[in-house]
Amino acid sequence: AQKITQTQPGMFVQEKEAVTLDCTYDTSDQSYGLFWYKQPSSGEMIFLIYQGSYDEQNATEGRYSLNFQKARKSANLVISASQLGDSAMYFCAMREGSGGSQGNLIFGKGTKLSVKP
Amino acid sequence: EAQVTQNPRYLITVTGKKLTVTCSQNMNHEYMSWYRQDPGLGLRQIYYSMNVEVTDKGDVPEGYKVSRKEKRNFPLILESPSPNQTSLYFCASSLFHGTGAINYGYTFGSGTRLTVV
């Protein structure tokens, strides 16, 4: 079973509007971390935001926020005031706290975001 | 500057010709990992290493070898490359692994685009 599910292969958003990228996860661990990475067309992986399973407040980093709903096991990325430079592939990832192979960072398949001028 | 350095960035090779992709990090990270990225499949882990001389298979290890003789280096070896290994490869490192590492994301290299003809 997939541990990280991103159901939106591609999305469009108008410049200056907000957009939500969906991510659901599956784990039996109580302790885990959730990450979002951005991959522009140049290919590098850029860390955006992190949420720990015990964090009570949603994480925010500038225009990025993470809508963390623990009971629903969802960790959606919200980008406010979209910019043309936000056009990229976005990956949701999870790291479990149990160590061993389960401590590796596991990625979803990604969502390609296109920002329209 | 703290970074993960991969070389080469681009490589075109022929089937069966052994090749090595180098990866080096300057952050004294214990944990290192290799991923491959293919369209529609996200990032899949090939091998990882929790410390010097400790390596283990990820989800797609067939056709690859790794070694971790020094803490900073984690080369990926393709003994006999085949066209199905054409992909974008990422090396990544993390401060440490296991319980308590959930809030540590990965630092990624810039990627290696490999084409096997």
* Across B101-114, average pLDDT: 86
Q: Which residue has the higher pLDDT, A12 or A103?
A: A12
Determine whether the interchain pair A33/B104 forms a contact, defined as Cβ–Cβ distance below 8 Å: yes
B38 has a pLDDT exceeding 90: yes
Tokens of A14: 């108008």
In B, minimum Cα distance to A50 occurs at B103
DSSP annotation of B73:
B
In this structure, the strands spanning A24-25 and A4-5 are antiparallel
- The pLDDT tens digits for B52-98 are 999 999 999 999 999 999 999 999 999 999 999 999 999 999 887 66
**Which helix (H) or strand (E) is B92 found in, with range?**
strand B87-94
Tokens of A74: 């969802």
Chain B interface residues facing chain A, Cβ-Cβ under 8 Å? 33, 35, 40-45, 48, 56, 58, 88, 90, 92, 94, 97-108, 110-111, 113
DSSP annotation of B52:
T
Chain B residues with CB under 8 Å of A103 CB are: 97-99, 101
* Across A90-111, average pLDDT: 83
Q: Looking at the complex, does the CB of residue A97 fall below 8 Å from at least one CB of chain B?
A: yes
- Are the C-beta atoms of residues B66 and B56 closer than 8 Å to each other? no
- Are the C-beta atoms of residues A97 and A31 closer than 8 Å to each other? yes
> Nearest Cβ partner of B105 from A9, A47, A106?
A47
* Across A57-68, average pLDDT: 96
Determine whether the interchain pair A33/B43 forms a contact, defined as Cβ–Cβ distance below 8 Å: no
At A35, the pLDDT band (50, 70, 90 cuts) reads very high
Burial zone of A57 (CB within 10 Å; 0-12 exposed, 13-18 middle, 19+ buried):
exposed
